[in-house]
Amino acid sequence: MSAEFGDRTGRQGKLTRWLRGRRPKETAGDGGREDLLLAAATAGLPLAPAAHPATAYGCSCDRVGCPTPARHPVSFAWQTQSTTDRAQIERWARHQPQANFITATGMVHDVLDVPLEAGREALERLLAEGVEVGPVTESDDGRMLFFTLTRGTPEDEDEWWPCELDCHPETMDEHPGLRWHCRGSYVLVPPARLPGDDDQQVRWLRGPEHALPDPLSLLEPLTDACARHAAQAPDPHSTTWPLHH
C-alpha cells in the first residue's frame, strides 16, 4: 500500500515538474508579445489592457453591437491605469494572454493616424527628405499611425491649443482622413489582433526604439498625402479634414 502510494506520488511529482518545465516554452511561443509590449513601455508609452477579438460578438467585452470591437480598453479607468511599469505589464500580459493593449495619448506622445496608402506615400517622402520619423505602426484595417511627441502637457495650461484634427475614440467616424490622437484618446499598440477571419493585425513598421519627433515636422507631408488620397478615393466622404455637422 505504502509502496503503491509512494509510486503514485512520485509520478505526480514528475508530472508536476514536467508541466512546470513546459510553461516557459508555451508562453515563449506567443510571437514575442510580452517583449514587444515591454519595449513599448521602455520607450515611454503608457499601456493598459484592451479587448480582443471573440467569436460571439466580435469583441471580448460581449457588448452587443460593440462600436469598436477589440479596439477599446478593458477598464473605464484606462487613463489612470495606463503605465510603463514593467512588473505590472508583465502581470497583465501573463494573466490576460489574449488581450490587446492600448497606449494612452496626450501624456508622453501623440499619434497622427492616416489612411494606409497616404501614410506610405508620406513616409517615403519624409525619409527621402531626411526628416526624423519616430515609431510607426501599420494596421491591416487600412491605417498607418505615426507616433510623435505630445502637445498635450504644456507647463502653462493656457498654452494648450486645440486642433480641428483632434480625434477621440467616439469621434473616429468624423475623421476619415488625418486623425490627431492627443488628450483623452488612445490607440492599439502592437502586437494587436483585429476582428475577422483573415487574421488582421497591428504591427510595428518602425519600432518604439526610434525617438519621438515633433508632430509639426510630419504634419505637412501627411496632410498633403491625405489630400491626394482623398481626391483619388471613390468614397466622396473620404477627406483630409474632419467633417463638420
pLDDT for position 55 = 79
Strands 186-189 and 100-104: antiparallel
Residue that the C-alpha cell 482623398 belongs to: 230
Q: What is the CA radius of gyration of the chain?
A: 22
User: 10 Å Cβ neighbour count for 32?
Assistant: 12
Strands 166-167 and 179-181: parallel
pLDDT for position 16 = 41
**Per-domain residue ranges of the chain:** 30-232
User: 10 Å Cβ neighbour count for 233?
Assistant: 16
pLDDT for position 71 = 92
Q: What region does 32 belong to: left with phi over 0, alpha with psi -120 to 50, or beta?
A: left
Tens digits of residue pLDDT in 99-150: 999 999 998 999 999 999 999 999 999 999 999 999 999 999 999 999 999 9
Where the chain has pLDDT below 50, the residues are: 1-9, 11-12, 14-29, 157, 159-161, 170-172, 174-175, 236-245
Output the furthest CA–CA distance in the chain (Å, rounded). Answer: 84
**Order of strands across the sheet that contains 47-50:** 47-50, 100-104, 186-189
pLDDT for position 172 = 47
pLDDT for position 237 = 44
First-to-final CA distance of the chain = 82
Give the Cα separation of 209 and 206 in Å (integer). 8
pLDDT for position 62 = 74
